[in-house]
Amino acid sequence: MRLKHVKQAQRALVVALREEVLVLPVIDGNAEDGSSTAWLNARKELRRQVLEGNPLRFLTWDVVTGSMFVGNRAYIDHELAYLMQRPDWKSGWEGVIQEDPAGDPKPYKRYKRSSGNRIHQAYHLCRFQAETGLPVSRFPLIVEFGGGYGSLCRLVHKLGFRGRYILFDLPEFSALQKYYLGSLNMPLVERGAPASGKPGILCTSDPDLIGSVTRQQAQTGLFVATWSLSETELAFRKRFMTLPAVDAAGAFLIAYQRDFGGIDNPRFFDAWRETKPAVHWVHSEIAHMPGNYYLFGTVATS
């Protein structure tokens, strides 16, 4: 594609992002989407940056780097070493963690072909596969709660996933995900019923669309939530987790922190696990991130 056409396509994506944000309802202090005060403020700031800032460099915005881009955190060294020691490093993970230029991500100081964020997310996926024996590419459906700017979705596709991927998030972040994934020519699909099973990526903030996933479809799917459910108000997360896409999922990849806004997350997730005796759980504290936990789950198939 000629450079002129690339620039035109990028400008079109920026225009679409701003138009989507402009028509969003005014944010009040009584959001029903599970937003804490911190996330309400983040939503307002992201709107401002989209409309006034440069989306071509959105990965330099404080509202993004402060909530969904880990940068040069010390624990990334441990995670990079883990990936590099894997027998499939050369054949898989080395290529998977190569960073994309979209958004102007900051390179990781010790491995400049990637970013701290991409290494961090690849580590989640690698740990899930090592603990469960299930590569994420095998699932026909993945539902991710709180997808950030779409980076994990990008990684999963680089690992060979070709099914239906549903990203559920706050409306401002859903708009940003469409922009980011569109910048990378990912297979986005328009609003439609996830129950159709059509391959592609659906970015949505509408719980009704998630609710259209049937229990039968969910049973072969993977539910992903990395530090998102645990940063959501209890009433909303409890409602969301009763949807078949979550309640009947065939596998789970969850990460959470000990405390958020006074909520005892270990107690919450322990109680939730007890309601799912058919699921084989692997629950562990993340040794290099004290106070944070992985919760991997799989349902045995006959």
pLDDT tens, position by position, 215-239: 999 999 999 999 999 999 999 999 9
CA distance 203 to 191: 8
1: pLDDT confidence band, cut at 50, 70 and 90? Answer: very low
Q: In angstroms, how far is CA 213 from the centroid of its own chain?
A: 18
CA distance 184 to 161: 16
Question: At 135, is the secondary structure helix, strand, or coil?
Answer: coil
> Mean pLDDT across the stretch 158-166?
96
Q: What is the DSSP letter of 107?
A: P
Fill in the amino acid letter for 268.
F
Please write down the long-range contacts of 55-61, taking CB distance under 8 Å and 24 or more positions apart.
55/13, 55/14, 55/17, 55/18, 55/179, 56/10, 56/14, 56/103, 56/104, 57/103, 57/104, 58/103, 58/104, 58/149, 58/176, 58/179, 58/180, 59/103, 59/104, 59/105, 59/106, 59/149, 60/104, 60/106
267: pLDDT confidence band, cut at 50, 70 and 90? Answer: very high
In the predicted model, is pLDDT for residue 2 greater than 50? no
In the predicted model, is pLDDT for residue 250 greater than 90? yes
- Computed over every residue of the chain, the mean pLDDT equals 91
281: pLDDT confidence band, cut at 50, 70 and 90? Answer: very high
- Given a contact cutoff of 8 angstroms between Cβ atoms, the answer to whether 221 and 245 are in contact is yes
In the predicted model, is pLDDT for residue 75 greater than 80? yes
The confidence score (pLDDT) of residue 197 equals: 67
User: Between residues 261 and 80, which one has the greater pLDDT?
Assistant: 80
Q: CB count, 10 Å around CB of 22?
A: 10
Q: From its phi and psi, is residue 104 left (phi > 0), alpha (psi between -120 and 50) or beta?
A: left
The confidence score (pLDDT) of residue 190 equals: 79
70: pLDDT confidence band, cut at 50, 70 and 90? Answer: confident
> Mean pLDDT across the stretch 1-9?
60
% residues pLDDT > 90 (the chain) = 82
Q: Write the pLDDT tens digit of every residue in 8-37.
A: 888 999 999 999 999 999 987 655 555 567
Q: From its phi and psi, is residue 217 left (phi > 0), alpha (psi between -120 and 50) or beta?
A: alpha
In the predicted model, is pLDDT for residue 288 greater than 80? yes
149: pLDDT confidence band, cut at 50, 70 and 90? Answer: very high
